[in-house]
């Protein structure tokens, strides 16, 4: 018999809440979600307005500083981010230590964690100036690291940042240009990339953000915390879902096979789930998915691929699922990952890069949440409790006496 009060080590109330479905671990002023109404606000501004009318660096400023910038503040912010886009030259060698066929997310976890070894000044988290420098470095360097991971995987030389381009166009150039040829990013593709970044920028206390906060609560440096976030994001139930969703659409292949996959998703004895469907918080349409679907049409239209077979499968699958009792009852709607994969593939990215792009965009959310936590005077180390269900206290048995 276990004396539960002793195991808990103190009196008072404990909540047992696996998956944290109803436990808030912090106060935050950054992002608000109303899952029943399908509303997402950053610092009070609807995601639709930010995605349609602003650009990614403006959203970054908003998340980090709490207000939309004036024109002068925006110009200054863009300049400060741009100044940090280069990576320490010695980091090039870090990449060459990886196998070329490594998953780029594995490379990201390693390289992002290694930033602390190159930018020691920004590991002083007690200095507000250094906290902001670390934040700008993270936002600025993530596209460079991601593009290098991609170039390394395909055996091409690294392309250095072009600071005359905006954030998204520069990223496309680092990924898709080669040093021997002139490259002009397609403005529709750059706009789509920028919008994808905005849509993924923050999403309150999701698994990777909570991981960043928990890692940061011990006083760990911001680069280590973001590396922890990247690692958590990789899972197929979280950021890895965009890769999994596209793989699933390819596996379905043609609309006539949809009923077979929908039946599998409903079968409790089959672990298969419709990837890109369902969300812990949204029990109504994910507002990001709606904007993503529109962006998908724009990019495929520009490429003359409006009849893309995968898009047809996705549209039909959405229609079938949304009129199926199982999905309606469980309030399972397409999430952002359902359409983002089709767009990213059309832009030229292989599926293994999809979660990397999510990490690039989410970095600003992670770092804004990390800063908010560090600057909160009530901040304490995060230390969840447990419900112990193991053996009660017992005596050690010498190895010779064990049977």
- Which residues are marked as active site? 279, 337
274-308 b/e (C-beta count within 10 Å ≥ 16 → b): bbbbbbebbbebbbbbbbbbebbbebbeeeeeeeb
The least distance separating ligand ACO from the CB of residue 292, rounded to whole angstroms, comes to 11
Residue 329 or 401 with smaller CB distance to ligand ACO: 329
Distance in angstroms (rounded) separating the CA atoms of residues 115 and 98: 16
Per CB under 6 A, residues contacting ligand ACO are 19, 237-239, 241, 265, 273-280, 330, 332, 335-337
Distance in angstroms (rounded) separating the CA atoms of residues 60 and 219: 23
The least distance separating ligand ACO from the CB of residue 337, rounded to whole angstroms, comes to 5
CA atoms within 13 A on the CB side of 401: 4
SS3 231: helix
Residue 87 or 265 with smaller CB distance to ligand ACO: 265
Residue 177 or 335 with smaller CB distance to ligand ACO: 335
**Which residue from 151, 149, 205 is spatially nearest to 177, judged by alpha carbons?**
151
Q: The sheet that has 45-46: what strands, in order across it?
A: 31-34, 39-42, 45-46
Residue 167 or 277 with smaller CB distance to ligand ACO: 277
**Which residue from 175, 217, 167 is spatially nearest to 364, judged by alpha carbons?**
167
**Ordered DSSP codes for 241-264:** HHHHHHHHHHHH-SGGGHHHHHHH
Residue 239 or 287 with smaller CB distance to ligand ACO: 239
Which residue number places its CB atom closest to ligand ACO? 278
The least distance separating ligand ACO from the CB of residue 391, rounded to whole angstroms, comes to 30
Contact between 353 and 150 (Cβ < 8 Å): yes
Distance in angstroms (rounded) separating the CA atoms of residues 285 and 35: 9
Contact between 118 and 176 (Cβ < 8 Å): no
Residue 252 or 374 with smaller CB distance to ligand ACO: 252
**Which residue from 117, 144, 132, 146 is spatially nearest to 80, judged by alpha carbons?**
132
Distance in angstroms (rounded) separating the CA atoms of residues 212 and 57: 21
């Amino acid at each position: 018999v276990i004396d539960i009060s002793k195991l808990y080590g103190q009196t008072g109330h404990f909540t047992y809440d696996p998956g944290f479905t109803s436990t808030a671990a912090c106060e935050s002023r950054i992002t608000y979600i109303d899952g029943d109404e399908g509303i997402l606000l950053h610092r009070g501004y609807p995601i639709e307005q930010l995605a349609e009318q602003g650009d990614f660096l403006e959203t970054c400023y908003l998340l980090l500083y709490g207000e939309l910038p004036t024109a002068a503040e925006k110009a200054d912010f863009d300049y400060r981010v741009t100044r940090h886009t280069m990576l320490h030259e010695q980091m090039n060698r870090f990449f060459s230590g990886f196998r070329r066929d490594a998953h780029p997310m594995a490379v990201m976890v390693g390289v992002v964690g290694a930033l602390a070894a190159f930018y020691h000044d920004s590991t002083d988290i007690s200095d507000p100036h250094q906290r902001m420098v670390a934040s700008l470095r993270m936002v600025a360097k993530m596209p460079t690291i991601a593009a290098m991971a991609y170039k390394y995987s395909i055996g091409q030389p690294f392309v250095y940042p072009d600071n005359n381009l905006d954030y998204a166009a520069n990223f496309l150039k680092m990924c898709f240009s080669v040093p021997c040829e002139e490259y002009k990013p397609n403005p529709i593709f750059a706009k789509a990339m920028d919008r994808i970044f905005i849509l993924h920028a923050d999403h309150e206390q999701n698994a990777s953000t909570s991981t960043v906060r928990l890692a940061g609560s011990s006083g760990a440096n911001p680069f280590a915390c973001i590396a922890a976030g990247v690692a958590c994001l990789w899972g197929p139930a979280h950021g890895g879902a965009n890769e999994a969703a596209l793989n699933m659409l390819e596996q379905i292949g043609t609309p006539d096979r949809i009923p077979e996959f929908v039946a599998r998703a409903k079968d409790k004895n089959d672990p298969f789930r419709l990837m890109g469907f369902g969300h812990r918080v949204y029990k109504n349409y994910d507002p990001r998915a709606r904007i993503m679907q529109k962006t998908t049409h724009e990019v495929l239209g520009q490429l003359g691929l409006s009849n893309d077979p995968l898009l047809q499968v996705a549209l039909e699958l959405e229609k079938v699922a949304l009129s199926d009792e199982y999905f309606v009852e469980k309030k399972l709607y397409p999430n952002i990952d359902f359409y983002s994969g089709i767009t990213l593939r059309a832009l030229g990215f292989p599926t293994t890069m999809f979660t990397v792009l999510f990490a690039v965009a989410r970095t600003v959310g992670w770092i804004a949440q990390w800063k908010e936590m560090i600057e909160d005077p009530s901040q304490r180390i995060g230390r969840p409790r447990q419900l112990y269900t193991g053996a009660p206290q017992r005596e050690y048995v010498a190895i010779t006496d064990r049977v």
